[in-house]
C-alpha cells in the first residue's frame, strides 16, 4: 500500500470583539482610591483621571462630596471635555480624628452616565497610638487568565509603637495572603512584605478585601483587592492530508509529545475524510502528528510524514 499523506496545519485565531462608543461618556480610571494612613491634622492629595470616551463633547456641570475629611482641590466648573480629551480632579484627605473614614466624590454632567461616583477612604492616625500601615493601600491585579495565578506584594509596617497582627482574612477564596506567620509582631519602624495571590475561577471582575486585625489604633486595617478573570483562549490544530492512492475506508490520526513518537491515536472513530481538528490541545505546548490509512481488510498503513505544531500561549 502506498500512502504518503502530507499535512496542512492551521491554528484557529481567536475572534476580536470590538466596542464602539456612540455618545458622550465620562469615565474615571481608577474610580476609587484609598489614602492609607495620614496623621491627624496632616493631608494627602490624589488626582482622579477623567476622560470623555464617547464621540460627542460633554460638560461637567456640578460636583459634590460626602465625608468631612475629604475636599476638592481647585476644580472650577463647568468643565468641557471634547471626545478623547482628559482632565484631573484633585481630592484631599485631611483627617481630624483617628480611625478609618469613607466618602464619595460625585460629578454631574450631560453625558449618558449623568452621575459619576468615585469612592474614597483613609485612616486618621494618632500621633501617639501604635498604627499599622499597608503599602500600597490597595491592590489591582488587572487581567488574569482563569485558572492562572498572579501575585502582588503589600508591605505592612508599624508606627508609634509595637503592633501585633493576630489575623489576616480575605473575603474571597480567589484572593489569598501567603508568607504571613501569625501572630506577627512588628516593632515601631519595622516592616514586612506579604504576598497576595489572585486565582480567578470565572470570567469577570472580582473584588475582595484583606482584613488585618491587630492591636493597632486603626484596626482592622483593610486592603481592597480587585482583579479581572479572563477566559483562556481556545486553541485547536486543523489537520489535512492528501488522500491515499490506494482504496481505503478511512484514516487514523496519531499525536505525540516528542519528535519521532511515541504516538497515541486521538480519533475515536475512523476518519472518513482527509481532515481532522484536534481541539484537545494546551496553550504553549508542542505536538507531533502522523496519520495512517485503513483498507477494506482493516489493514493499517505505516505512519505518514510527521508534522510539528506549536500552540500559542496562552
Residue 258 has pLDDT above 70, yes or no: yes
Architecture field, domain 21-126: Sandwich (2.60)
Domain 128-232 has CATH 2.60.40.10: yes
Give residue-wise pLDDT tens across range 190-200. 999 999 999 99
Give residue-wise pLDDT tens across range 24-71. 789 998 899 998 878 787 888 899 999 998 888 999 999 999 999 999
Q: What local confidence, expressed as pLDDT, does residue 23 receive?
A: 63
Q: What local confidence, expressed as pLDDT, does residue 2 receive?
A: 41
* CATH 2.60.40.10 domain span(s) along the chain: 21-126, 128-232, 234-310
Please indicate, yes or no, whether the overall pTM of this predicted structure exceeds 0.75: no
Do 171 and 211 touch, CB atoms closer than 8 A?
yes
Pairing of the two strands 32-39 and 115-125: parallel
Question: CA torsion 137→171→218→65, rounded to 10°?
Answer: 60
Residue 159 has pLDDT above 50, yes or no: yes
Architecture field, domain 234-310: Sandwich (2.60)
d(CA 219, CA 212) in angstroms, rounded, equals 7
Amino acid at each position: 500500500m502506498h500512502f504518503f499523506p502530507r499535512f496542512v496545519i492551521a491554528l484557529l485565531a481567536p475572534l476580536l470583539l470590538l466596542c464602539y462608543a456612540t455618545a458622550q461618556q465620562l469615565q474615571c480610571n481608577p474610580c476609587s482610591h484609598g489614602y492609607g494612613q495620614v496623621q491627624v491634622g496632616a493631608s494627602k492629595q490624589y488626582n482622579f483621571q477623567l476622560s470623555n470616551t464617547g464621540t460627542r463633547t460633554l460638560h461637567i456641570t456640578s460636583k459634590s462630596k460626602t465625608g468631612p475629611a475629604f475636599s476638592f482641590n481647585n476644580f472650577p466648573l463647568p468643565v468641557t471635555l471634547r471626545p478623547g480629551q482628559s482632565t484631573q480632579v484633585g481630592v484631599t484627605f485631611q483627617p481630624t480624628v483617628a480611625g478609618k473614614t469613607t466618602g464619595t466624590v460625585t460629578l454631574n454632567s450631560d453625558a449618558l452616565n449623568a452621575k459619576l461616583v468615585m469612592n474614597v477612604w483613609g485612616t486618621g492616625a494618632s500621633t501617639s497610638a501604635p498604627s499599622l500601615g499597608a503599602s500600597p493601600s490597595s491592590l489591582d491585579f488587572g487581567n488574569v487568565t482563569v485558572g492562572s495565578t498572579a501575585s502582588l506584594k503589600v508591605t505592612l509596617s508599624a508606627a508609634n509603637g509595637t503592633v501585633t497582627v493576630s489575623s489576616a482574612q480575605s473575603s474571597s477564596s480567589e484572593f489569598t495572603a501567603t508568607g504571613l506567620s501569625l501572630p506577627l509582631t512588628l516593632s515601631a519602624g519595622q516592616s514586612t512584605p506579604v504576598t497576595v495571590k489572585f486565582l480567578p475561577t470565572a470570567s469577570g471582575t472580582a473584588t475582595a478585601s484583606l482584613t488585618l486585625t491587630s492591636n493597632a489604633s486603626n484596626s482592622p486595617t483593610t486592603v481592597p483587592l480587585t482583579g479581572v478573570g479572563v477566559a483562556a483562549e481556545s486553541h485547536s490544530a486543523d489537520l489535512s492530508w492528501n488522500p491515499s492512492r490506494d482504496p481505503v475506508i478511512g484514516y487514523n490520526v496519531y499525536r505525540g509529545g516528542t519528535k519521532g513518537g511515541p504516538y497515541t491515536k486521538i480519533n475515536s472513530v475512523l476518519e472518513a475524510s482527509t481532515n481532522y481538528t484536534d481541539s484537545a490541545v494546551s496553550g504553549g505546548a508542542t505536538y507531533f502528528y502522523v496519520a495512517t490509512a485503513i483498507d477494506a481488510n482493516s489493514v493499517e498503513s505505516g505512519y505518514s510524514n510527521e508534522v510539528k505544531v506549536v500552540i500559542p500561549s496562552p
